[in-house]
Structure 1
């Protein structure tokens, strides 16, 4: 164990010398002086923690010394901004979202040196511990120092943290792939992130058929009711359903369907022409043909009668396309509140109609891969993560299937069969 020896100088000041046997018994004596007892005590603990060795990164007489700066090293936010500016294959709204994440959330990233001092993070100094500290800070949030009852930065949900960490991972990887190379390892590779599924289920509301009917009965506008019925009956996203045109319908075929090929996108701030524009669906697999039921075919024919091919299938009162805020505030929210006053125990969002559609399909024993295709999920893992817990309703069917196969014992070698 290291010890501290206090020595008084002629001027009355004191020096605190930490002494230890390098490597333990049999080693040579080493020492390091400090001007205050607290610093000496902290260093003593470091020596003990390092097995009676000089702490890694400590230079005698100087303290912890950072590694020499790597040529080309720049502040993390600067490198991240440049990385996002050079991304291809993304729309400007997505690029703007990435810049906002860098400004607001990457600003929390700090680099902590060996002595515990914090420094602005650079693309080369960022470590795995720094990333872990950042994830924890994102998860916990930060209280307003002036008013502890308020948040200076609210806690982030697991999905948001995972998305930001994914962006950071790509930025660090770009530094590894750069020429000349700025890093050799990705410090984000082994980060333990909060479980996304801890919150996914809580955010969803699933309606029983009679619960949806109680809400639908309160939607007095026939056009608004048609849209709600379509959303819950097809599982389409709001942005997809409200972007449908008459020309997307194929009602004369043996298998009537609708072609999902566009969706509303939020435009970059300051863009002329409005806050939304039409673009491709959310993912490649979101481009899909949806089979329509007889009830949906009847609705589509009614709405398409006397209309042109480029007209929207669902139209608001003035003949234009529906806007989410308008529909929510004037149609959906009043209907939900009216139904709740009459005993509805849930407060669903419009997007919960999509979740409700899935729950009805699972209750009808539709397999998850088929649901993935219908919803336009890029990966089956997305479908399983969000809705896999609902498949528990099939436990009895699974048990019955196993019993049917395993119920009759197979003959065992060495046992004579009794005829």
Structure 2
């Protein structure tokens, strides 16, 4: 038989504790009022002095999942991300933040139910995902103040990235053993176009525009790094991580060997904010061919330096930090050039985009550019820079004409009309 024990609280009031023995061990559950305790006592006794089916200690009756193994969507996505291999902790931390801030807003709406219910990995539908994308794209106004945002509109690229996490997490449920789902509800989601905006995401500089900025960089070491970035198309984290031993300046094919890059440490980690790790992708490990002018500049920077020394260094001999270069060298130079008439405001990463634009203007094919940039897929190169190939339209038309209007060979006599 169960009993009820009154337990006075230090802060005042009374807790009503239902107490009984189950399989030789004492079990207890606490309530704030006597009526609830009496009701629960009756349930325990009706179940043969055992916990009532579906009751969770401290929570009450919790609906059991319709599918064994079902769980809240965010819990499943965290489980999926925590088990990912081959990613650094900073990336894992970014995925967790996207889940907690954005994917946690997903809900499940039954057609027959007036109110949505929390999304689980098993009840999520294509309609639920589509509804979430719509709100991500359009945003949501504060019901108490229509002038304010309760949820700001997200840019198309961010929506695609978040949907990618969701897609992979749901696919993991499809492929789990035993499967929690029969199909991936994210497969047919129509996502906003990544170019569905009016501001140009990438900034391309003409040669004279870059020169106008470079002339305002008075520090020779900083100017050398900027020239190298625009001349090789390397990412900042790759170029600034180069060591003397990574350069081959004496062979028949001078090149820089990209084997590492600066990575941002996860906030939960210890040590410096940045550390040296592998490049962004497997194909980012590459040899980047160097021009004679670049070889000359690199020899000047590395003469007398030990193999482990960084190629690009500040006046104090330290490697360049992005924030230091950006705020003290790049921004002032760009602003000075703008004050003198430059019509663009490029970022440091736009030197990489500019490098590609220059190569395309010189008729370098996209597959060769893909290799030079270290893109994992040619699709990435095409998606980002394919529109620049429009400048080759005149060459394409000329090539077609050269084939189509070439003098036709004389037809065989057997085919001549009688």
TM-score, with structure 1 as normaliser: 0.80
- 2:389 maps to 391
CA contact (8 A) 2:81 2:92 kept: yes
Q: Which moves more between the two structures, 225-234 or 166-175?
A: 166-175
Deviations 1:29-70 (A, max 9, x none): xxxxxxxxxxxxxxxxxxxxxxxxxxxxxxxxxxxxx99721
Residue 149 of structure 1: how far off its partner (Å): 3.9
Gap runs ≥5 in structure 2: 1-62
- Mark the CA change 1:151 to 1:314 in structure 2 (over 3 Å): closer, same or farther: farther
Q: Which moves more between the two structures, 92-101 or 268-277?
A: 268-277
2:270 to 269, 272, 283: 272
Residue 83 of structure 1: how far off its partner (Å): 1.3
Gap runs ≥5 in structure 1: 1-65
CA contact (8 A) 1:362 1:391 kept: yes
Deviations 1:196-250 (A, max 9, x none): 2335982000000000000001111111111100000000000100000011000
TM-score, with structure 2 as normaliser: 0.80
Residue 326 of structure 1: how far off its partner (Å): 1.4
1:190-229 matches, within 5 Å, as 190-199=188-197, 202-229=200-227
1:108 to 96, 105, 126: 105
Q: 3-state SS of the aligned residue for 2:150? A: strand
2:78 to 64, 78, 81: 81
2:157 to 156, 159, 177: 159
- Mark the CA change 1:320 to 1:200 in structure 2 (over 3 Å): closer, same or farther: farther
- 2:399 maps to 401
Deviations 1:311-353 (A, max 9, x none): 1111123222211111111111111111011110000000000
CA contact (8 A) 2:141 2:147 kept: yes
Q: 3-state SS of the aligned residue for 1:174? A: helix
Residue 147 of structure 1: how far off its partner (Å): 4.6
Q: Which moves more between the two structures, 82-91 or 384-393?
A: 82-91
Residue 416 of structure 1: how far off its partner (Å): 4.8
Residue 140 of structure 1: how far off its partner (Å): 1.4
Residue 408 of structure 1: how far off its partner (Å): 2.8
Residue 151 of structure 1: how far off its partner (Å): 3.3
CA contact (8 A) 1:201 1:386 kept: no
CA contact (8 A) 2:233 2:373 kept: yes
- 1:69 maps to 66
Residue 139 of structure 1: how far off its partner (Å): 1.1
1:15-414 matches, within 5 Å, as 69-114=66-111, 115-199=113-197, 202-408=200-406, 410=408, 411=410
CA contact (8 A) 1:197 1:385 kept: no
- Mark the CA change 1:199 to 1:285 in structure 2 (over 3 Å): closer, same or farther: farther
Question: What is the number of equivalent residue pairs in this alignment?
Answer: 352
Q: 3-state SS of the aligned residue for 1:310? A: coil
